[in-house]
Structure formats: structure tokens, C-alpha cells
Amino acid sequence: MTATVEKKRFTYEDYLKTPDDRRYELIEGELIMTPSPVPNHQRISRKIALILEKFVSENSLGEIFYAPLDVHLDDETVFEPDILFISKERAHIIGEKNIQGAPDLVIEILSETTAYNDVIKKKKIYAKFGVKEYWIADPMEKTVEIYSLKDGVFILEKSFSESHILESSLLAGLNIKLPYVFTF
């Protein structure tokens, strides 16, 4: 007869006690440590974030934030998306210490250590909490997939390769030249 061992479920209070010199996320009560991103990940993140920041600012749409910044979805789910957008209509979720609720847009840039969570677990959770649009940038394949929330689940709206110009339904008028994003 084998005994089952219950896995400890962590809460936001436990998460707040993690060391400042490490990156953690809390996925449905499971505390996950993630290593720092590699330089190409950060290059892609910076390029996308700068373009988004300019577009959002020029059009007075809201605010862009970048990791590390906690997105507190519930007491057992806290993420640090690479890039996120919060519309000015939903600015009330911007707290003093974190984002308190689902951003309008979340962008995750895949890495070897986070790909499974970003593509499977986090995508499902972001949909559950009402993120309107979810982008997954893949540095290896040089693609960006855009998922839109429809009836509580993400539907692949469009997949862009490195030679395309990315357009977003959520941010109408935004154009991101992916050759620029994926060229180092």
C-alpha cells in the first residue's frame, strides 16, 4: 500500500516571502522559480515594449508594464508577464504594489524553461480570468501568435512569422514589423 503525499499549496502571502534576488510565479498554488531571461528574450521584449509604449502613449489608451511586475489574479495565482497592457478604462486594477486583476493584453516571450507554462497552463488561466488578448512570441521559430478571448477561452486569431507585420484586434491601428523584432 502506498501513501499519497499532499503537495503543499502556496498562497500570495507565501509568495511575498520569496527572496528578491530570484523570479517566482505562483501557478494555482504551485510556487515556480524561473531563471532570468536570456539576452535574445530581452531584446525581443524591449523592441515590442518600446513600440507598444509609443503607440499606447500617442493614442492615450492606457499603460504598458514590463516584468518584473506581479499580476495578482487570486490568492494562489500570481504571474510576472513579460509585457502587459492595461487600458485607461481599467486603470483601477493598477495597485500600489501589483496589478490586481487581469490585464487587457498579456505578452509572453517563450524560453526553454517557461514554454510549457506559457503555452498551456498560463494561457488557460489568463483566459479564465478574462485577459482579452494573449500574445505568445517564439524566439526560436520567430513567430508571434495572437489569441483572442471568445466565450471564456482563447481562440488563435492569427499567427505571424518573422516576415509579417503584426496587427492586433485589441489595439486597432497598431503595426509591428516583425523583421525588426526578430533581427539582432
Specify the number of domains making up the chain: 1
- 108 domain residue, yes or no: yes
Torsion of CA 35, 41, 47, 50, to 10 degrees: -10
Strands (DSSP E) contained in 75-127 are 77-79, 83-87, 99-100, 105-109
Q: What is the model's pLDDT at position 118?
A: 81
Cβ proximity of 156 and 136 under 8 Å: no
- 63 domain residue, yes or no: yes
- 23 domain residue, yes or no: no
- 19 domain residue, yes or no: no
Count of C-beta atoms within a 10 Å radius of residue 81: 27
Tens place of pLDDT per residue across the chain (184 aa): 555 656 778 787 877 777 665 677 777 877 777 778 889 999 999 999 999 999 999 999 999 999 999 999 999 899 999 999 999 999 999 999 999 999 999 999 998 877 877 888 899 999 999 999 999 999 999 999 999 999 999 999 999 999 999 999 999 999 999 999 999 8
Query: Looking at residue 86, which CATH number applies to its domain?
Result: 3.90.1570.10
Q: What is the model's pLDDT at position 16?
A: 76
- 134 domain residue, yes or no: yes
What is the separation of C-alpha 92 from the centre of its chain, rounded to a whole number of angstroms? 19
Q: What is the model's pLDDT at position 5?
A: 58
- 167 domain residue, yes or no: yes
- 143 domain residue, yes or no: yes
pTM equals 0.86
**Cα(69)–Cα(108) distance, rounded to whole angstroms?**
13
106-154 pLDDT per residue, tens = 999 998 877 877 888 899 999 999 999 999 999 999 999 999 999 999 9
Question: By residue range, what is the domain housing residue 85?
Answer: 37-181
